[in-house]
Chains A and B, each alone.
Chain A
Amino acid sequence: MSKLVNHPIKVTGESLPKQFYWQGRQYTIVEILDQWWDTGCWWQGEIEKFFLRVVTADNSMVELYRQQRQWHLYKIYD
């Protein structure tokens, strides 16, 4: 199961994030499990998103995405 968050977040790291901040806490990314692009509803003017499925230091699995320059926390897996 997963929880849909879809909220902008701050990240650190250059091309790929190393940490991100959510609800005042810092999460460190220890492994990137998967990465992909999602074009979405291009016919409605939606902009392409770059997704990461990562594992954090506290052993959580989350999905992040970048749209233009802004990163978002997309999903948190149970």
Chain B
Amino acid sequence: MAFIHLHTHSNFSFLDGASTVKELVQKAAASGMPALALTDHNNVSAAVSFYREAQAAGIKPIQGAEITMQDGCHLVLLAKNPRGYASLCQLLTRAYLNSPREDPRVSWPALENCREVIALSGCRRGAIPRLILQGNFQQALTTARRLIRIFGRENFFLELEPPLFPGSNRLNRYLAQLATELNIELVATNNVHYHSKARYQLQDLLTCVRTLTTLNTVHPERHLNGEYYLKSAAQMKALFCQYPQALANTESITSRCQPVFDLEKPRFPQIPFLKNENSAAVLRRLTFSGAKKRYGKLTQDLTDRIEHELSIITNLGFCDYFLLAWDVARYARQEGIRYAGRGSAADSVVAYCLGLTEVDAYNRNLLFERFMSLEQAKQPDIDLDIDSRHRDKVARYVYDTYGQEHVASVCTFSTFRARSAVRELGKAMELPEEMLDTLAKRLPHIHADRIEQVWPELPELRELDPRPFKKLLHFCHQVAGFPRHYGTHPGGLVISREPLTNLTPLQRSAKGVVITQFDKEGVEDLGLVKLDLLSLKTMSAVEDTAVNIKQKDKNFDYEAIPPDDRETFSLLNSGETIGVFQLESPAQRALQQKLQADNMEDIVASLALIRPGPIKGNMVEPFVARRLGKEPVSYLHPKLKPILEKTYGVVLFQEQVIEIATAIAGFTPGEADRLRRVMSHARSYTEMEKIGQQFIRKAKANGVDPATAKTIYSYIMGYASYGFCEAHAAAFATTAYKTAYLAKHYPAEFFAAVLSNQPMGYYSPNTIAQEARRRGIALKLPDINKSTGKFTVEDNSIRVSLAQVRQMNQKVMENILTARKHGPFRSLADFCRRVKAPRPIIENLILCGAFDQLHPNRKQLLWQLPHLLKETDDGLFTTLPRLQPVPDFSEVEKLDWERWILKMDVRQHHMARWRKKLQQKNILTTAEAKGVEAQSTITVAGVVITPHRPPTRSGKTVVFFSLEDETGLLDVTMFEKQYQRFGHLIFNQFRPPLVVTGTMSGNSLIFETAKTLI
């Protein structure tokens, strides 16, 4: 007789289960169990991975959930088949959408609608065991009768627990008695919470996190012992020897439960505008109509390309998906909402003709097979970047058009990472809060299981004594990657033909959005169609810039920006591209200076080059040398020339890997894409070796000399981990170039727009403000009579917005703007009479200079304010309080207040105040530093910004950061040896201004030593 665990929690029981699905399935399979049920609390989020793991392990997956009833009692439900699974999803959806968030409760009437499920009475928190333990046998009997009526006698089982807890024997005796009285069956379970006993401590700790308690606190939800592990059949038989039928019933229940999924069956949405038309025919019509608009005359070659794409799209059944994307893009265009397609969809001419992307895949000769191929079973992704202010409007259109029941946002699982694990587990372990805070702040953004590994490598961590953290780090290691809570995917919407609740429970995210219980991979595995509508602030900044420009140049057209503007390329080549989309990081700015781009292809290559792979693989310098003609371009085989010509013989794009595999080794598109995926995801060495042997074998058969094939493959191997999609680079390059154009020709309008749409890009608003000022665009303090909700352009200067003022909120801002429509404010008293605003906001407005034009003494206004507010409250404005003769704040005080309240230096960078003293000590400005001869040793001062430690080929740490002062930025490189001595000054929560000594190399400084300025 076999035994099957029918009540099992994984780590998707969020802070209750302490093992992964994989660990549970593998343990069950290793114990010789033919099946396993997964019954997480109120969710089926692990269902897809459970199904896959069980299939791989050769055991039967039984999908269920332990639901929480309105009175807090638990009940285990197991789906008998897909209908039972759908019923469970609907039940959970109702529970989530009708209960407070994160506390889903199932009502008894809702339970009545449940079909095709088997119910188990649950753990001690089940209604019946609870009543028995309370001595209320009669009520237990009544509840059991009610459950029998709902599920049927043959579908309801009383769950026995092993006799390992106080009162278990008595409880089991009563349950057996109840079963006899009601003529129902018993079933033996172990309420599994972890796969092995060793995980008990973690489970206990997670319970403390969940119940907001600590290890020294008594709480009823903490387990008395570590017996809730996945015991073997023999152990379970020994524990339940008195109840052989309860053991046998695990088998009979298993035999009645079937798998609930038919994975990867496409579930395309119903396209409402199709009516009775065939979707393939409509797609063809729209594509060719778009092609005429895009290209004018269609050549035979172009028509062939479109036909080729259409035949693959039709054969794979993705016509509806393209029509859906077209419909959404059409709506955005119609509403004047700026958008742009990104990702591999830009490899498609059809997508270009449908207006989904702006990349001409035909003339760029992009490879459609990177996006879709007959052998590539995965659903293609169409991603649209949408002006962030209107993204929700577009999403609303999708909900309204395709039906609320058919559309939802995709969830994400926020997992325990180093910092969160340290903070949460450490708190439950009662480690001192300051100690945890110090450690958490010094940790880089890494997985929780890497803390011990990086500790000796990072100087800021090495300063700390690791001993008090030993036990905590042990638990951090165990909890790494565990789901912590649900989040919302930034753009993913699923759209299905059948109601979504047949496939996934729906719930509300923290933001109030309805989300699925499956993440991106999960919904794809379910065969659901996903459309990514991503919110991109760059689109909003572009739109704002266009609006700003049109105030002085009505004919400006963003779409008509010339693609070959010399001045724009000269800006790029100067490396002064702060604020420019994707080209503003120090590495990108340095590359631009070396590359001397003069066409769009250079920008496309730049975007692919500044990635960990090419940097790690030392590819950047050879690429630049070849681009500048300083190094010859050669090809290992003549067939490589047409493929690699545009990247000077260097393998740079994923599309090129596919083309090489096809041209050299005669790979089919599907095989080639598999190679691309193995490469770009840096899979296992074994997998790369295996596919490499296939490459060399097939290349030989294709007439290529094996030694050459081997070398070509080694080049592709070198490419592993940095694969970048050319289509994606091309899509981004267009926006990058256009924003550079705006920065060059309309800097005030552009920087005002960038500042209005923070946070965005690589740099803080203060650095953007500094860059604007460096370019001769003055920044002006907020003015209560001039500032609006956005940064505005006044002649060649930028007026700081009211929204930038600390504590300002939308309501107060609207009050101010509405009141101003009736005339400018004449005084602070006038303002207080006309605008209802909290005192702290008015104080901040005074302190940041927003009333300077009405009264120059800020301190006097602060003195006056309480009287004015009192009179406002009293409704009396008979006498104005006299201004006290107090001296105003000093200039330094004013600057400090402005900086604090506006979160930026508006009038001058705060480094300027030390300038005189620095000059006396021969300490240079960042601008002066850039002017000295190469290899000179200099000392320069500034504020450390954007420090980061990218991966390097040698594995040694190299730190890149910038020093910022009133004259600009100086990029600094710090090597391992110096990092070990001075790293704590750079990766420090306070980041004081530094005086750095080093050697100039090009336009950047090689760090040697540093000390703090103050």
Chain A residues packing against B (C-beta within 8 Å): 33-39, 41-43, 48, 51, 53
Contact = CB atoms under 8 A, between A and B. Distances in A.
A43 B168 contact: no
Interface in B660-718: none
A53 B215 CA distance: 27
B911 to A, nearest CB: 49
Contacts of B165: 36
B227 interface: yes
User: Chain A CB within 10 Å — which of B164, B224, B225 has the most?
Assistant: B225
Nearest to A39: B225
A41 B214 CA distance: 12
Contact of B166 (A36, A41, A43, A48): A36
B204 A36 contact: no
A34 B170 contact: yes
B233 interface: no
Contacts of B216: 41
A30 to B, nearest CB: 15
B200 interface: yes
A37 B429 contact: no
B164 A37 contact: yes
Interface in B161-213: 163-170, 200-201, 204
A34 B165 CA distance: 8
27 contacts: A33-B170, A34-B163, A34-B167, A34-B169, A34-B170, A35-B164, A36-B164, A36-B165, A36-B224, A36-B225, A37-B164, A37-B224, A37-B225, A37-B226, A37-B227, A38-B224, A39-B200, A39-B223, A39-B224, A41-B216, A42-B200, A42-B201, A42-B204, A43-B201, A43-B429, A51-B166, A53-B166
Contacts of A43: 201, 215, 429, 471
Residue of A37, A39, A42 with most partner-chain B CB within 10 A: A39
A54 to B, nearest CB: 12
Contacts of A38: 224-225
Interface of B: 163-170, 200-201, 204, 215-216, 223-227, 429, 471
Contacts of A42: 200-201, 204
Nearest to B222: A39
- Interface of A, secondary structure class, is strand
Contacts of A48: 225-226
A29 to B, nearest CB: 15
Contacts of B168: 34, 36
Given A34-B163, A37-B224, A53-B166, 10 more contacts: A33-B169, A34-B168, A36-B163, A36-B224, A36-B225, A37-B226, A38-B225, A39-B204, A39-B226, A42-B201
A33 B168 CA distance: 10
A36 to B, nearest CB: 5
Contacts of B163: 34-36
Nearest to B167: A34
A43 B164 CA distance: 21
Contacts of A51: 166
- Of the listed residues A33, A41, A42, A51, the one surrounded by the most CB atoms of chain B closer than 10 A to its CB is A42
Nearest to B170: A34
A43 B168 CA distance: 26
Contacts of B227: 37
A41 B217 CA distance: 10
A15 B165 CA distance: 18
Contacts of A53: 166
Contacts of B215: 41, 43
Contacts of B200: 39, 42
The 3 residue pairs across chains A and B that have the minimum distance between CB atoms: A37-B225, A39-B225, A43-B215
A42 B197 CA distance: 13
A43 B222 CA distance: 14
A32 B168 CA distance: 12
A53 B168 CA distance: 12
A34 B173 CA distance: 12
A5 B529 CA distance: 67
A51 B224 CA distance: 12
Contacts of A33: 169-170
Nearest to A63: B166
Contacts of B223: 39
Contacts of B201: 42-43
A52 to B, nearest CB: 11
A58 B119 CA distance: 45
Nearest to B200: A39
A56 to B, nearest CB: 18
Contacts of A39: 200, 204, 223-226
Nearest to A42: B201
A18 to B, nearest CB: 19
A35 B204 CA distance: 21
A38 B169 CA distance: 16
Nearest to A43: B215
A37 B168 CA distance: 12
A33 B172 CA distance: 12
A37 to B, nearest CB: 4
B54 to A, nearest CB: 30
A44 to B, nearest CB: 9
A53 B204 CA distance: 25
Nearest to A48: B225
A2 to B, nearest CB: 13
Contacts of B226: 37, 39, 48
Give the residue among A33, A41, A43, A51 with the most B Cβ atoms within 10 A: A43
B433 to A, nearest CB: 18
Contacts of A41: 215-216
Contacts of B225: 36-39, 48
Contacts of A36: 163-166, 168, 224-225
Nearest to A33: B169
A10 B223 CA distance: 30
A38 B166 CA distance: 10
Among A36, A41, A42, residue most surrounded by chain B Cβ atoms (within 10 Å)? A36
Contacts of B170: 33-34
A12 B792 CA distance: 90
